[in-house]
Amino acid sequence: MTLHSQSISIVLILLGAFSYAVAQDGDGSVVLQPRVLSPAEFLTVDSLGDNGRIAIPGQVRSRSSAEQDSMYAAALALRIPASIRFATSLMETSTALRYSAELQRPRSIWEQINNTMNIPAKILQPSPQEQAQYQLTIANAMYVPGVLLYPMGTGNMQINLGDIAKVFGFGEDVSPVIRYVVDETIEVEIVIYSTQAINVKTVFKGIQAPGAYTITWDGRDQKGKPTVPGEYIAEVRLGGERLMRKRISWNGR
């Protein structure tokens, strides 16, 4: 080989090496020229998947993550026979199918009865509104007019049980306080009698307009003398039509 031929060979080798270096990018990959697509490929290029199958419009393409690839590689490294892998997958699939069939199976009459009687505990728990209504009902049941009892009030006021009975109508009011209601303008007369039907005192006599009235007997007779302790009867006469009586237990005070 002549010197001229050797020079040409060296130049061709250097040109090839330079072309290869230029064709490589920074990460070591080779830059290739895009393949010329045919008219049919150009029209269907957006519909072709990575595996060559036709993709459905709107299909979301998902790739496996690095963690999935690592787990897959670790599973392959276990060297489990393919038959065992298939049997395990088949067992999981059969379990899911049996569970799905159990859910779709028509229930027997006893199962339906048990499901009907199986009431969740949450349904039986009272709601906040029901709890508040329960407390309010208890408070209203203990309410006494004019007295603020706990929890509706301070609860500091002491009250006689006999007074509570009188308010609710469980006990008889034997105090010298006489209460009555006049429906129309009429003549009213209030007389105090002893148990022997003796006229002790005429407390009031006159014409009264419609309204509610309260008169208290002072425990004295018609002459202003104190009466002896004992039982008396207060009689309220409303005209000549109505009559109301009340028992009074006078203790001399």
Kindly state whether residues 182 and 164 are assigned to the same domain: no
Q: Domain check: are 150 and 209 in the same one?
A: no
Residue 223 within a domain: yes
Specify if 30 maps to a domain. Answer: no
> Could you tell me if 206 and 182 lie in one domain?
yes
- Residue 60 lies inside a defined structural domain of this protein: no
For residues 157 and 125, membership in a common domain is answered with yes
Q: How many domains are contained in the chain?
A: 2
217 by Cβ neighbours in 10 Å (0-12 / 13-18 / 19+) ranks as buried
Strands across the sheet with 199-208, in order?
A: 199-208, 186-194, 230-238, 242-250
Helix (H, G, I), strand (E, B) or coil at 244: strand
**Average pLDDT rounded to a whole number, residues 186-194:** 93
| Residue 228 maps to a domain | yes
Residue 84 lies in a domain: no
191 within 8 A of 244, measured Cβ to Cβ: no
Question: Is 148 inside a domain boundary?
Answer: yes
Whole-model pTM?
Answer: 0.36
Q: Domain range for residue 208? A: 177-250
Is residue 138 in some structural domain? yes
The 10s digit of each residue's pLDDT in 97-148 is 888 888 888 888 888 777 777 777 788 888 888 888 888 887 777 655 555 5
The reported pLDDT for the residue numbered 106 is 86
Q: Tell me what percent of the residues of the chain surpass a pLDDT of 90.
A: 16
Q: Which of 171, 191, 218 is the last residue of a domain?
A: 171
Res. 238: pLDDT tops 50: yes
Residues 185 and 224 occupy one common structural domain? yes
- Lowest mean pLDDT segment, chosen from 87-101, 123-137, 152-166, 183-197: 152-166
**Nearest-angstrom CA–CA distance, 186 and 249:** 29
pLDDT at position 89, please? 82
Residues 186 and 244 in one domain: yes
Q: Are residues 161 and 194 in the same domain?
A: no
